[in-house]
Amino acid sequence: MDYHQDSLDAHHLVNEQLAVYEKLFHAKVYGTFVLMELLKEYQDALLISFSSVNSFFGGSGFGAYSSANSFLDAVTHYYHNYKQQQAYCFNWSMWDGMGMSRGNVMKDAVLAKGFHSLSLQQGLKSFLVGMELGTVQLIIGLDPDNRIIKSYMEEVPLPEQSLTIYYTLEETGKDEELILSEINEVARTYVRK
Instruction: Specify the long-range contacts of residues 35-42, CB closer than 8 Å, at least 24 apart.
Output: 36/75, 39/79, 39/83, 39/85
Tell me the per-residue pLDDT of 52-103, one tens digit each, with 9 for 90 and over.
998 888 876 778 888 899 999 999 999 999 888 899 999 999 888 776 666 6
pTM of the model: 0.70
Q: Going along the chain, which residue ranges are E strands? A: 47-52, 87-92, 137-140
Q: Are 25 and 43 in contact (CB under 8 A)?
A: no
Question: Domain ranges in the chain?
Answer: 2-150
Segment 127-183, tens digit of pLDDT = 999 999 989 999 999 998 988 888 887 776 667 766 676 766 666 667 777 777 877
Q: Which CATH architecture has domain 2-150?
A: 3-Layer(aba) Sandwich (3.40)
- DSSP, collapsed to helix, strand or coil, labels residue 113 as coil
Strand order in the sheet with 137-140: 47-52, 87-92, 137-140
